[in-house]
Amino acid sequence: MSINFQKDIILENDRARLEPLSLSHLEELLPIALNHPTLLQYSPSYFGSRDNLEKYIRNALAAKDQHNRYAFAIFDKEKNAYAGSSSFGNISNHDKRLEIGWTWISKEFQSTGLNKNCKILLLKYAFESLDFERVELRTDSRNAQSRRAIEKIGATYEGELRNHMLMLDGYRRSTVCYSIIKSEWAGIKDTVFSEFV
């Protein structure tokens, strides 16, 4: 199966709902951007103002039109509030692979289990609905919090792309790469995500 970029993909469980990111989410997500302007400090995206958040959403929608990225807004059912965003990106239907990333969650929702709920929804969809072979996860080599989170969900470290990306401040970011492949998914789901099985 391939990702249908025209379809409204909604992924949800008891805790989280992932729905297609749109400009209608601007007002709901704006307080996060204003209150936590450094949330995307390891990303090459502007953040921290209304204009920057609108540009972020418009860029995500443009990438969706190009069939490269499918961005979601994250809604926390427990707190009845929008908490951030995450995406499928670098999508290759032909190669049956994609990347999970572009993830940012407001600080008050971090370490609450919300991110793990989002990851199980995204991984299940990639491996069980799309029947993809590979899911990649990447982050700035300096982002220890993100690296720990990726490692906690059972992803395998594959290496580092040195001086990989130019950041907004002129810094050359090195990117660390992780993956989960289809043959590993059942074991990871039964162990790391056992509370959802």
Instruction: List CB contacts of 150: < 8 A, sequence separation 6 or more.
Output: 137, 139, 178
pLDDT at 1: 85
What secondary structure does DSSP assign to 149-194, as a single string?
A: HHHHTTPEEEEEEEEEEE-TTS-EEEEEEEEEEHHHHHHHHHHTTG
Q: What pLDDT is stored for residue 146 in this prediction?
A: 93
- pLDDT, block means (10 residues), the chain with 197 residues: 94 98 98 94 89 96 97 98 98 97 96 96 98 97 94 97 92 96 98 92
Residue 157: per-residue pLDDT: 98
Q: Which residue has the tokens 């302007």?
A: 37
End-to-end CA, the chain = 23
Distances, alpha carbon 168 to alpha carbons 40, 44, 47, 173, in Å = 11, 6, 11, 10
Q: Looking at this protein, which amino acid is placed at residue 14?
A: D
Tell me the pLDDT tens digit for each residue of 32-76.
999 999 899 888 888 999 999 999 999 999 999 999 999 999 999
Q: Quick one: pLDDT at residue 181?
A: 98
What is the separation of C-alpha 68 from the centre of its chain, rounded to a whole number of angstroms? 14
The CA-based dihedral angle spanning residues 53, 59, 62, 63, taken in that order and rounded to the nearest 10 degrees:
-120
Q: What are phi and psi of 4, to 5 degrees?
A: -95, 105
Round to whole Å and give the CA distance between 51 and 55. 6
pLDDT at 136: 98
